[in-house]
Amino acid sequence: MGDYVLDLQEVDRTQVAVVGGKGAHLGELSRIEGVSVPAGFCVTTDAYRRIVLDAPSLGELLDGLSRLNPDDREAIRTRSAEIRRVLEGIVVPDGVAAAITGALARLGDRAACAVRSSATAEDLPGASFAGQQDTYLNVVGPAAVLRHVSRCWASLFTERAVTYRLRNGFDHRKVHMAVVVQRMVFPHASGVLFTADPVTSNRKVSTVEAVFGLGEALVSGLVNADAYQVRDDEVIAKAVAAKEIAVQASPDGGTREQPIEPAGREQPALTDAQVVRLVRLGRRVEAHFGRPQDIEWCLVDDDFHVVQSRPITTLFPIPETDDRENHVYVSVGHQQMMTDAMKPLGLSVWQLTTTRPMAEAGGRLFVDATRLLASPTSRAGFLEVVGKSDPLIEDAVRTVVERDGFLPSFPDDGPAQTIPGAEPVAIEPDPALVTELIEQGEASVAAVEREIRTKSGSELLDFILADFEELRRVLFDPRGIKPIMAAMRATWWLNEHLHEWLGEKDAADALSQSVPHNVTSEMGLALLDVADVIRPHPEVVAFLRDTTDEDFLDGLVEVDGGREARDAIVAYLDKYGMRCVGEIDITRPRWSERPTMLLPLLLSNVKNLEPGAGARRFEQGRQDAWQKEQEVLERVRALPDGERKAEETKRNIDLVRTFAGYREYPKYGMIRRYFAYKQALLAEAERLVRAGVLREAEDIFFLRFRELQEVVRANQVDHELVSRRKDVFRSHQALTPPRVLTSDGETLNGAYRRDDLPAGALVGLAVSAGVVEGRARVILDMAEADVEPGDILVTTHTDPSWSPLFVAIAGLVTEVGGLMTHGAVIAREYGLPAVVGVERATRVIQDGQRIRVNGTDGHVEILTEA
């Protein structure tokens, strides 16, 4: 048929660049045995490119479009409308028109057709673009078809399509439009089939939505659809809607709304047998494409026709396994306060530095808890540990455990596993142990930092791999676990017994302020000391406020007071510059690499706090804790058997204050090592760039550690692999990881089972006692933090890198977190009321609203509008 038209029978899934995503999928569908696809053809992207050549003014318009901010809706609306007018105004060239009308004749000149856009960046594994371009139904006659083909070309530049490409980094010039023209079918019923449940992501449950007539009534929201769920060839849920209208083909072309007779409005559009048959058809399509599908279908004379199938891009991936058994996976990221997607090098380094095997999905890591949950004893211990850490994870896991037959069952003497954090340890280790462990840790890290500078090539990779063993030894040294567990158990004891004896909730929170050896809280206070050096020098403040250059420290010495300021910042970075948001991913930029990330917070401290605030803050917390201790002990002594109880209380308070701070140290040491590894690996990557092996140094982030070893050894890399990994990473960034994931693909995030909340309150987990009211500052990027004293930080999650911000706020609300995660620990040390695990907090709470945070009872109230 030439370059401008291809019959669907000539098309397969490899031809996205020629016929767009929709056309390629339809062509591939037409090749599947037993799948009926209406006959038709594709107007190729060659035709679109020919049109663009006939409109040289488009180049300038496209350049302007690419420079627009995706949030500037008015500019996008104006510019995209101008481009559409240009495209619709171009006369279809004779050669293109002849190819289209010739193909149309083979369908029948007066055949009613569906004319559908098919962009080259549409229905892709990582970006569906569903609904971004236009479809026209019941188009009759060559002239009308040509006119609607032009409209499809123009629909590449609808406002929603342009905005989507801008937000997702697609180049307008590199996205082309093909058009699918198919013989129109006139169905009794239409709808969509998801071969995996789009709500729960369960791959074994299919969801069907059905309406009478054409599917446009469903797509446009004109009617409620019948809804069915099917599992194992059985309809397990059904809801028949009242359907008042149907969209039908109009005799004059196009479509019209037609009322449904009252007697038929609540009749199901499909029988249960038809639903099951449709799902079987969908499973055949899914198996062919190798992933769950979103399928548009029509029912004509009891035969199903597929008019589109695209991958469901919103499903969270499932970890790959070698068996077909059921599995339960628990998120590592929700424990580590890092739910963002990780690059391959980051994933593999983390896996190599832990002792527990981890599953991988969607750029995140999960612990396979199946065997822990299979034995009654290990199950009880596991649920107790995760319940203390994150009750939402516990609730989600219980949901799965309570299902009959999903998990295997082992007796208590079977192959159960130990539970991290539940192993017996000495309750009262020697107080000198913390100092000893820190000294040994410092020496170990210093040795790595010293020795790694002498390594390069394969020797470097071998050195790092060997040091992973030393890192694991330090992280999981039983001696290091003793003080951490001693503090945790003492905290639990205090909260339980002081609540029972005195009616106090979370009493240990006030007793945990300003404990020694907490390197993370010290980091926040140390930044206040840097602010003290900068504050007396207005020229330094002005310089830092205006700079965007990551090399600003070099220029800082040129202004009055700049040398002292530079020395203070450099000293801070020397100790803490290896930290950053998402620091468990070795590939994330560190403060030392991008020191401008610290400037908003540093300048906020200069503006809002007084000299000496760091030392005063620590001393005030120490005094508050001491006074709370005296009050508690006095009240306990007044109880029956008070002296014994007070002695036991004092012993547990001492355990908390002696050992709680050490909990933050092992991760600090690990991150220092990570930074040493990263600096050395990037230096090696620069060598590979100079040698022509790598295109850019950061390509190593998209290789796993063992792959990088081989690249360094062989001096060659698979550039296509790196490119694919970058695309996959971008698709993973758009996904929200669940707290719990099953091998069926079901995602679970748990729920709070509470009915004691004020009306309208947002429920969460109380992790630091107290009640505070203030202005909500919804901050998603710490580098953009602009807070004032009394503000309440509302964010998705915090890791140690957020701790310097805590000295300037009055309370904390996060979407992710638990009792022993870093944000909770530092909030308690600073005496900040905090509630974590508040679902959708950053979307429900608006920046600037006045809110009340109840860190004692675990809820947040919105008091005023923004």
Q: Which positions are annotated as active-site residues?
A: 822
Parallel, antiparallel or unpaired: strands 189-194 and 293-300: antiparallel
Which residue in this structure is represented by tokens 């896991």?
397
User: From CA 174, how far away is CA 571, in angstroms rounded?
Assistant: 47
Bridge partner list, 771: 854
Q: Report how far Cα 299 is from the mean position of its chain's Cα atoms.
A: 38
256 close to 250: Cβ distance less than 8 angstroms: yes
- Give Rg (Cα) of the chain: 31
6 close to 109: Cβ distance less than 8 angstroms: no
175 close to 156: Cβ distance less than 8 angstroms: yes
Which residue in this structure is represented by tokens 């959708």?
840
166 close to 767: Cβ distance less than 8 angstroms: no
Q: Which residues contact 224 (CB under 8 A, 6 or more apart)?
A: 241, 242, 243
SS3 of the chain: helix, strand, coil, percent, to 5: 50, 15, 35
Bridge partner list, 139: 113
Parallel, antiparallel or unpaired: strands 40-43 and 177-183: antiparallel
Sign of CA dihedral 149, 151, 153, 158: negative
Per DSSP, the three-state class of 256 is strand
Q: Report how far Cα 388 is from the mean position of its chain's Cα atoms.
A: 24
Q: Is 641 exposed, middle or buried (0-12, 13-18, 19+ CB in 10 A)?
A: exposed
Per DSSP, the three-state class of 786 is coil
591 close to 580: Cβ distance less than 8 angstroms: yes
152 close to 116: Cβ distance less than 8 angstroms: yes
Residue 759: CB atoms within 10 Å: 5
Alpha helix ranges (H) inside 249-403:
272-289, 333-336, 344-352, 370-374, 376-389, 391-401
Parallel, antiparallel or unpaired: strands 811-814 and 177-183: unpaired
Pull the structure tokens for residue 8: 């669907």
299 close to 270: Cβ distance less than 8 angstroms: yes
Which residue in this structure is represented by tokens 């020694």?
516
User: From CA 479, how far away is CA 433, in angstroms rounded?
Assistant: 8
DSSP labels, 251-268 = TTSSEEEEEPPGGGTTS-
Per DSSP, the three-state class of 236 is strand
Q: Is 130 exposed, middle or buried (0-12, 13-18, 19+ CB in 10 A)?
A: middle
Closest by alpha carbon to 804, among 524, 590, 502?
524
206 close to 196: Cβ distance less than 8 angstroms: yes
Closest by alpha carbon to 584, among 797, 319, 321?
797
Per DSSP, the three-state class of 83 is helix
**Cβ burial 26-55 (10 Å sphere, 16+ → b, else e):** bbbbbebeebbbbbbbbbbbbbbebbbeee
Which residue in this structure is represented by tokens 């870093």?
822
Sign of CA dihedral 39, 44, 45, 48: negative
Report angle CA 59, 60, 61 to the nearest 5 degrees. Answer: 90
176 close to 122: Cβ distance less than 8 angstroms: no
